[in-house]
Amino acid sequence: MAALAAARGAIVVVDYGMGNLRSVWQALAHVADGRQVLVSSDPAAVAAAERVVFPGQGAMPDCMHEIETRGLRSAVLEAARNKPFLGICIGQQMLFEHSDEGNVPGLGLIAGNVRRFPAEKMIDAMGSKLKVPHMGWNEVRHSREHALWKGIANDARFYFVHSYFVEPQDEDYVVGTTRYGIPFTSAVARDNIFAIQCHPEKSAIDGLAMLANFVAWKP
């Protein structure tokens, strides 16, 4: 009961056993302006939170399996419908309908699919082959204005680690793009949802600015 009481009005980072969440928690706590930041695998804590952060690392099939096994699916879906919600990396990909990674369905909150970087197009401007996964710093270009871009320059660099990227059916949801061999959607937003492929918690000053913007966001 004490943990649930603490979650009310807090920022809750969803823990479904995939990836080290300490860096996400530390970055959020740094910019939370005194608000409580919790890491929790309790669906009731997710439901009680004021804001929810949905991060993750690893393979999409494993992540979806853990969400189901831990009984978090309904709580995550409900949070994504009615409160400020930030998806990070796999947490972005799982919002979509389907992933080519393991041929698995996602949560279906955003129409579209998750695709693997096409090997034949992984060539840089000098004609050299690019490695997959896409790993390291890269620019994110703002496709349109959004509250989470406040104070962040267009083409600011963020840290990426991924082999798959999202393809929304509705281009109106695209708020950020990045080029790695091909241009791809790196950030999407709809109503109370903002989701990004990179890791803001590992992206220095601009990443912290994004997280601070999320803490203050009133969609």
Among all residues, which ones are annotated catalytic? Answer: 89, 199, 201
| Neighbouring C-beta atoms of residue 135, cutoff 10 Å | 13
The per-type count for the chain, helices as H runs and strands as E runs, is 7, 13
Question: Per DSSP, what are the bridge partners of residue 112?
Answer: 168
Task: Name residues whose C-beta falls within 8 Å of residue 2's C-beta, 6 or more positions apart in sequence.
Answer: none
Cα 107 off chain centre by: 13
| Neighbouring C-beta atoms of residue 105, cutoff 10 Å | 12
Q: How far, in Å, CA of 39 to CA of 130, rounded?
A: 36
User: What single DSSP character describes residue 130?
Assistant: P
**What are the b/e assignments for 39-63, b being 16+ CB within 10 Å?**
bbebbebbbbbebbbbbbbebbebb
User: What's the Rg (C-alpha) of the chain?
Assistant: 16
